Structure 1
Amino acid sequence: MLSRVAERIYWMSRYMERSENVARLVNVNSHLLMDLPRGIRVGWGSLIKISGTGDYFNRGDTEEADERTVVRFMLSDRDNPASLLNSLSWARENARITREIIPMEAWELINNLYLEVKDNLSKSVARRERNRVLHTVIASIQQFTGLLAGCMSHNSAYDFIRIGRNLERADMTTRIVDAGSANLLPHLSGEEDVLEPYDNILWMSVLRSLSAYQMYSQHVQDRVNAEDVVTFLLQDGMFPRSVSHSLGELESCLHKLPNSDEALRAVTGVRRRLRSANIPELLESGLQEYVDNVQLEVADIHRQIANTWFLPVAPQAQSQ
């Protein structure tokens, strides 16, 4: 397979996963409004922090941003590289160029989804229409994932698709845990104890943003609390959107590819860090710093993948 083809389908997969994640975040934050008593304001600015796009937000302080402003920024802002519309646009472009590699139905699904979202996002400020559009995005991307699993040969191209999907999942889950540990809701009037009665609602929203609430309830069988939620999302080896499971899938794909030693070493290092983490201790003293370090290591996995398969070989290395 040509390196440029591998890179295109890798990024197609990442952008599709990113689109689903953005849709989930906005949707869950909208529903969180209905779970909280009047007077507790949902921190919409936390979505900008989770997506890491604060540098592109030029509408004032993110902490003070209102629902309408953040929703438009997250869904349709062309200046936001991680907006839903931009992510779907780049997924579509990468799929268009590699449409001979993926099933034709997959290309048609991406193309139709992009066109539908583009035509309807202008109406997505209203919550009812927004929920409809976001549910369509989530369902279509899940259909896309299933279509590839059932209709595409499980060759190297499919491995690069799985690598992109699972690396994006690992990155987003760490971001969501990071935002949850810092509290998705702003402290009111400097009174930190105001939010304590709603901690379980906060952590339930964290689980729901990853469609993890039902699986958490089956496996943990305890009321929702920070320690169990963080442990489940970081260390559980069975839940598909946990960091541990995503990295396991990543490792499985890398083993099938040539020259994967450096990338595998990077993945092994992150998995070792996750297994050895003492979550109760980290919650007391430094979970955010720990998760920030995990995010940096996940970014390093991407660099190793790009250096190995996507970037041109230096002339000196080529001659050697």
Structure 2
Amino acid sequence: MLARVIETIYWMARYLERAENIARLINVNSHLLLDLPKGISPGWEPLIDITGTRAQYLDLYNNFSESNVVAYLVTDIKSPASLRFALNAARENARTTRDVIPQEAWEQLNTLHFYASEYINYAQRKTKRFDYFNSIITYCQTINGLLADTMNRDAGYLFLQIGRYIERADMSSRIIDVRTTNLLNQNNHLEFHPFANIQWMSVLKSMTAYQMYRREVQVNISQEQVLTFLLKSKVFPRSIYFCIAEVARNTNPLPKSEAVLSLINQTLTSLLSKQASDLTQQSLHMYLDKIQVFLTQIGDKLDNTYFLSDRVQKTTAHQTASNINDAVSIT
């Protein structure tokens, strides 16, 4: 399969996963703000930190109001963290590989793109917001189901899975890092204790993990158990460990995979080496930073090994598919 094709599929999967995560984050944050008093509410600023684009945001806005943050994360086509940007990029990548991905998946992605664009103003309307983002999440999951059920298990599908799980692991690490900062800092303040469970629940719900956590752990919500589940669970498909293990599983059949697998094994070893009970706010932040560095290195190694990295336009924040005539074979 051509390097241009597998790279485009890889980025399509990453952008589709990113769009779903953005939709879920905004919905969860909207509900969390309704449950907490103003003095404890984290507001909308943490969502910008989760995307890692604070500097870009502050170039455009001078405060972290709800309307500004939602506009930046949803409607701003120039924002590399926006839903609109992610869906446009996913659709463009899919369009250039329509002969490889199933026709039904392309049609659903196209429908999602037009739905998100037509009703994009619903994101700013509190009475419409939940249904709008819930529909986007449902579309994304439908597309992933179609791809899983009807796509050939060749190199294209392997890179689809690799892209999805790298993006999911990266977003999971950012959500845990930012969402737990205030919680861990509040541990010694008695006035915050009645609301701790609500905030830990929001961390779980940001990753659609609440129900599976209760089923797997079967104890009351606690800091140590939540962190252990989200970081190290081997059965929950959005835990960081599970995602990186899936990257390894899908990389293993590829040729020239030794260097990538070596990095992945280092990441998994690092994940297993820490106990959640030993993590303070600062050590957790450094720990997750290390995981994000590993994920970046894994992405770079994939670039250098399999993609046309020196001839395809992309940055750390986004990627744009180019029309490239040159191609190399990886099989």
TM-score (ref. length: structure 1): 0.92
Alpha-carbon deviation of 1:60? Answer: 4.5
Letter in structure 2 aligned against 1:200: N
**Map of 1:18-37 to 2, 5 A cutoff?**
18-37=18-37
Give 1:222 shift: 1.4
**1:273-301 CA-partner distances (Å, limit 9, x unpaired):** 01111211123661111111111111111
3-state SS in 2 of match to 1:183: helix
Contact kept? 1:16, 1:87, Cα under 8 Å = yes
Match of 2:77 in 1: 78
Q: How does 1:286-305 map to 2 (within 5 A)?
A: 286-305=283-302
| Whole-angstrom distance in 2 between the partners of 1:38 and 1:47 | 17
In structure 2, what is the equivalent of residue 118 of structure 1? 117
Contact 2:161/2:247 (CA < 8 Å) preserved in 1? yes
Report the equivalent of 2:322: none
In structure 2, C-alpha distance between the alignment counterparts of 1:151 and 1:217, rounded to whole Å: 33
How far 1:68 sits from its partner (Å)?
1.3
Equivalence for 2:320: none
The aligned residue for residue 318 of structure 1 is none
- Gaps of at least 5 residues in structure 1 are 315-320
For residues 185-216 of structure 1, give each alpha carbon's deviation from its aligned partner in whole angstroms, at most 9, with x where no partner exists: 998xxx95543331211110010011100000
**Aligned pairs for 1:130-209 within 5 A:** 130-183=129-182, 193-209=190-206
Per the TM alignment, residue 5 of structure 1 is displaced from its structure 2 partner at its CA by 0.5
Asked if the contact 1:42/1:186 (under 8 Å) is kept, the reply is: no
> What is residue 272 of structure 2 aligned with on the other side?
275
Identity %: 42
1:213 aligns with 2:210: yes
SS of alignment partner, residue 257 of structure 1: coil
Alpha-carbon separation, structure 2, partners of 1:284 and 1:278: 13
Aligned residues: 309
Name the CA distance, whole Å, in 2 between partners of 1:185 and 1:276: 21
Do the aligned residues in 1 keep the contact of 2:184 with 2:280 (CA within 8 Å)? no
How far does the alpha carbon of each residue in 1:247-275 deviate from its partner, in whole angstroms, 9 at most, with x for none?
11111111111111111111110000011
RMSD over aligned Cα atoms:
2.0
Matched letter for residue 70 of structure 1: V
How far the C-alpha of 1:228 sits from its partner, in A, is 0.9
Give the Cα separation in 1 of the matches to 2:309 and 2:294.
Answer: 23
Q: Give per-residue Cα distances to partners, 1:10-64, cap 9 Å, x unaligned.
A: 0000000000000010010011122224654342010000011112113445xx5
User: What is the distance in 1 between the residues matched to 2:115 and 2:184?
Assistant: 32
For 1:252, the equivalent position in structure 2 comes to 249
Give yes or no for contact 1:11–1:91 (8 Å, CA) kept in 2.
yes
Higher relative contact order (CA 8 A, sep 6+): 2
1:171 Cα offset (Å): 0.5
Amino acid at match of 2:296: A
Structure-2 residue corresponding to 1:307: 304
Q: Which runs of 5+ in 2 are unaligned?
A: 312-331
CA distance in 1, matches of 2:172, 2:76: 23
| Post-superposition offset of 1:165 | 0.3
Question: What is the letter of the counterpart of residue 107 of structure 2?
Answer: E
Answer whether contact 1:207 1:229 (CA < 8 A) is retained.
yes
